[in-house]
């Protein structure tokens, strides 16, 4: 078999890349080790930046998102017994976020690729990468796929990044001393917008997936296990952290899913080696506080699509050569914003009274200064795409 671009991973990055390349007349094959059902069901991020929304609409895969997604024009920072709204419509006019689950984006992209005759293969075993320096190829399940370029979109634990020779990559990472307990509940949201709350008990986030399904996160110890958190304890802790302002009552209901997510920051540089180009979680991880993971993957794919189009249409390698440098500018901005949001809202060491006072001081600044609030809003809705 032969194709122009071999893509490893059928998450948002791999599927969107395949679809955008298809729109430019460039062939690809997507290889995914999981089943289609697994890929479409796994719950991940749900906050889409303005640029991500625009990209999906422009690519012709945003119809259901436009119909079912929940546009938000602000978020609430809740601390010290009061809530403070960061109003996107005033601070960054014309830009907002849309709440639409990552699994729904994946469903839309799979449907679009298959309806267009795209080659997306699920439950593929033993994917391996070869010949990155000159003539790359992939092997899987006893078959061989020759290609001009390989795109590694297979996440943090995939095979793409480890295929780069030792000593080429420089890795930057940080582990946080806590994790997030994520809950998906069959209960209408208790707020029209996301609530980020900082308390002495720890951080909590009130989010949503639809008018009837809510998403919550609790800061928990890094070694926490799901079985330590029965439903009654989860609701009690959410109430303790979220019902901190007068008149607010948290609605409770059936918990459908729960899981513990470690908090880490990770960047591997460069995001390319030979004919291999990394995108999304294969190259970088951000803590979910800033809602940047999926959006960074889309940003990578946009850059890579233009670089590959220039290569296949004109024979130019300039954009491919500069792919990593172009992506990393946005990656590091998102890394800083995610780290900042995380350190601003989470409880660290219990005896760190100095750190807690710094947190409260900066929260006061963000909620009272239009300049500071604009910086938060601009980064949250997503910086404009580079030319």
Beta bridge partners of residue 139, listed in sequence order: 128, 144
**Termini Cα distance of the chain:** 36
What is the phi-psi region of residue 164: left when phi exceeds 0, alpha when psi lies from -120 to 50, beta otherwise?
beta
Q: Where are the alpha helices (DSSP H) in 116-250?
A: 231-242
Handedness of CA 254, 256, 258, 264 (dihedral sign): negative
What DSSP line would sit under 196-222, residue for residue?
EEEETTEEEEEEEEETTEEEEEEEEET
Q: Which helix (H) or strand (E) holds 325?
A: helix 323-345
Handedness of CA 368, 374, 379, 382 (dihedral sign): positive
With 0-12 / 13-18 / 19 or more C-beta atoms within 10 angstroms meaning exposed / middle / buried, residue 133 is exposed
Distance CA 244, CA 266 (A): 33
Q: How many CA atoms lie within 13 A of 14 on its CB side?
A: 30
Q: Which residue has the tokens 């019902």?
A: 243
Q: Which helix (H) or strand (E) holds 273?
A: strand 272-273
Beta bridge partners of residue 85, listed in sequence order: 76
SS3 15: helix
Which of 89, 147, 118 has its CA nearest to residue 20?
118
Beta bridge partners of residue 296, listed in sequence order: none
Q: Which residue has the tokens 């189009």?
A: 309
Residues tagged active-site:
72, 196, 288, 292, 380
């Amino acid at each position: 078999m032969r194709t122009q671009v071999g893509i490893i991973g059928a998450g948002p990055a791999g599927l969107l890349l395949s679809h955008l390349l298809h729109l430019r007349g460039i062939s690809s094959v997507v290889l995914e080790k999981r089943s289609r059902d697994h890929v479409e069901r796994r719950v991940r991020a749900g906050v889409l930046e303005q640029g991500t929304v625009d990209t999906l609409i422009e690519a012709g895969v945003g119809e259901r998102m436009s119909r079912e997604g929940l546009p938000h024009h602000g978020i609430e920072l809740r601390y010290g017994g009061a809530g403070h709204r960061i109003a996107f419509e005033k601070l960054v006019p014309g830009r907002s976020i849309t709440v639409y689950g990552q699994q729904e984006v994946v469903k839309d992209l799979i449907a679009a690729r298959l309806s267009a005759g795209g080659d997306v293969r699920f439950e593929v075993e033993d994917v391996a990468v070869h010949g990155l320096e000159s003539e790359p190829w992939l092997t899987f399940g006893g078959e061989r796929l020759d290609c001009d370029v390989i795109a590694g979109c297979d996440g943090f634990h995939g095979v793409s990044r480890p295929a780069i020779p030792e000593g080429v990559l420089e890795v930057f990472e940080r582990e946080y001393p806590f994790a997030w307990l994520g809950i998906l509940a069959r209960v209408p949201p208790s707020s029209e917008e996301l609530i980020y709350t900082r308390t002495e008990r720890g951080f909590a986030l009130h989010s949503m997936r639809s008018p009837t399904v809510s998403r919550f996160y609790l800061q928990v110890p890094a070694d926490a296990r799901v079985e330590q958190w029965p439903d009654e304890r989860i609701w009690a802790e959410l109430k303790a952290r979220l019902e901190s302002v007068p008149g607010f009552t948290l609605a409770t209901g059936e918990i459908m899913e729960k899981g513990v997510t470690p908090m880490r920051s990770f960047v591997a540089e460069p995001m390319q080696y030979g004919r291999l180009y990394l995108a999304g979680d294969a190259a970088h991880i951000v803590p979910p506080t800033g809602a940047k993971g999926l959006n960074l993957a889309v940003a990578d794919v946009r850059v890579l699509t233009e670089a590959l189009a220039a290569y296949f249409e004109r024979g130019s390698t300039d954009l491919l050569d500069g792919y990593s440098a172009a992506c990393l500018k946005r990656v590091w901005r998102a890394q800083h914003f995610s780290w900042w949001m995380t350190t601003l809202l989470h409880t660290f060491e219990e005896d760190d009274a100095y750190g807690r006072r710094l947190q409260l001081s900066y929260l006061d600044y963000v909620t009272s200064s239009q300049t500071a609030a604009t910086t938060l809003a601009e980064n949250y809705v997503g910086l404009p795409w580079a030319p």
